[in-house]
Amino acid sequence: MYQFITLQTEQTYRSLMQDKAFQQVVNFMIEQGESVTLRDIKRALPNVEEIEVIIEIWISAGLITRHHGRYELVGNVISEEKQEELKQTYQSFFLPCVEKLKAECNQLALSTKERALYFLYALHQKIQGNITLGQYMEDTPVLAEIKQLPVYFQQLTGKKTEWLSFESLTNLAECVSLPSFFYEETYRENTKSPQFLALEKQLGDVNESYFLTYVERKLRRIEKGRIISSDTPDIFLASLVTLGYLTIEEHHYKLNVLSVEEHVLEVIHQELDSIIERFDETFNRSWEIMAIYSFLDVMDLAGTLEYYPTLFGFKPL
């Protein structure tokens, strides 16, 4: 079986990772090894409803092409063999490049968790306009490992704060961050997940802008050392405890989220720039998830990140 994997956050692409009809059609087209007709799809997959309608959505998204009534997948099909080949290729490229970057990260005296978030965020800032739309990857142990890592970046923008989250692909349906909660509030795709139900019960039909303005003010106070009692009812702060942005210690709230500092990002950016430039010159392709995974691996972060399927940060604007 092949799975559609993407790091794009637009609803069209994100939702397709959970779309059973799309997965069925993708696997049928890969099995055929050539372009197919709509009649071929209907005959092979009679349970896929309204294929004439939904295939137009996939075409508009740039994931399928149609030429003279025949359909083809757009994007790379990554078999198990190809995954191993790409992993070795990318690791061989990155290994000679990262020693100085590792040394700079060590000089910053960051915890492993902080180092992971800074690295992921700095990398994302540099490649966000050059990430592939998606790929069709065979279900393998390597893919299972990749899906456990917090590589899916989302952010919310408040008045004075950027709310950052990196989530694992396996957790996207579980509503484990503020961006995912407000995504579900809008698109209602996984409204039965326990986390979403708990948050919706706490918050009700909350306005995103109002929520962010309120909580960013509270978090700034906590960051500055102000004590805010957890004994005083506050549904907004309680929701941040539910998600893990805050903890409660001795009856008051404590930050459990990294405040991203610009000078730290700048240090990592300086070392990343040359690596990314060389990558682009060498491969002349969009950044795919195998490249990101291999980069994390040679930075000695992939194994560690399995223990942190979600990473949070907030950054002053």
Q: Which residues pair with 156 in a beta bridge?
A: 163
d(CA 166, CA 125): 13
Give 74's contacts (C-beta < 8 A, 6+ positions apart).
62, 63, 64, 65, 133
Give the pLDDT of residue 317: 86
Give the pLDDT of residue 306: 86
Give the pLDDT of residue 209: 95
Tell me: the pLDDT tens digits for 152-186? Answer: 999 999 999 999 999 999 999 999 999 999 999 99
Helix ranges, the chain (H):
11-16, 20-32, 38-44, 51-60, 80-94, 99-107, 112-127, 141-148, 178-187, 194-203, 208-223, 235-243, 262-283, 289-298, 302-305
Give the pLDDT of residue 54: 97
Q: What is the DSSP string of 44-60?
A: H-TTSTTHHHHHHHHHH
Give the pLDDT of residue 163: 96
Run means of pLDDT, 10 residues per run, the chain, 317 residues: 97 96 98 96 97 97 97 97 98 96 92 94 96 97 97 95 96 95 95 94 94 95 94 96 96 95 96 97 97 97 91 92
d(CA 39, CA 6): 28
Give the pLDDT of residue 238: 96
The helix (run of H) or strand (run of E) holding residue 152 is strand 150-157
**CA nearest 247: which of 263, 234, 227, 230?**
230
d(CA 116, CA 245): 17
CATH, domain 2-74, list 1.20.120, 3.30.70, 2.60.120, 1.10.10: 1.10.10
Domain layout of the chain by residue ranges? 2-74, 83-134+150-259
Contacts 24+ apart (CB under 8 A), 169-173: 169/5, 169/17, 170/309, 171/309, 171/310, 172/14, 172/17, 172/18, 173/18
Task: Please say whether the beta carbons of 176 and 42 come within 8 A.
Answer: no
Give the pLDDT of residue 114: 94
Task: Please say whether the beta carbons of 311 and 117 come within 8 A.
Answer: yes
Which of 151-187 are b and which e, b meaning 16 or more Cβ less than 10 Å from the residue's Cβ?
bbbbbbebeebbbbbbbbbebbbbbbbbbbbbbbbee
- Residue 102 backbone dihedrals phi, psi, to 5 degrees: -60, -45
Q: pTM, whole model, 2 decimals? A: 0.94
Give the pLDDT of residue 158: 92
**CA nearest 40: which of 134, 48, 16?**
48
